[in-house]
Amino acid sequence: MPESIDVVHNLSAHRFEATVDGHLSVCDYTVDGDRMVFAHTLVPPELRGRGIAEQLVRAGLNEARRRGAVVVPACSYVAVFIARHNEFQDLLAH
């Protein structure tokens, strides 16, 4: 089970972010009409393997659902995450 972290939705920067052990991790997105395009997920090497990217992406996908948005996974991590988690596949833009 990944450690619980505080994920913040930074609306002005269009990203979900978390600071852990002094390092910033982010999941960036843009909004295009009713679409949330997830462009990039970055977790510094020092923090990898702790489930941080998963928590950032889950927060982003939950926000997309809350907005009624469809998701475009331009980020390969987000695409693989959605492919592995059926509960988010209905969010995909077709």
Tell me how far apart the alpha carbons of residues 70 and 1 are, in angstroms, rounded to a whole number: 28
What pLDDT score does 2 carry?
A: 64
What pLDDT score does 4 carry?
A: 84
- Count of CA atoms in the C-beta half-sphere (13 A) of 52: 24
User: What's the Rg (C-alpha) of the chain?
Assistant: 12
What pLDDT score does 5 carry?
A: 93
CATH of domain 8-91: 3.40.630.30
Enumerate the domain spans of the chain: 8-91
- Has residue 13 got a pLDDT over 80? yes
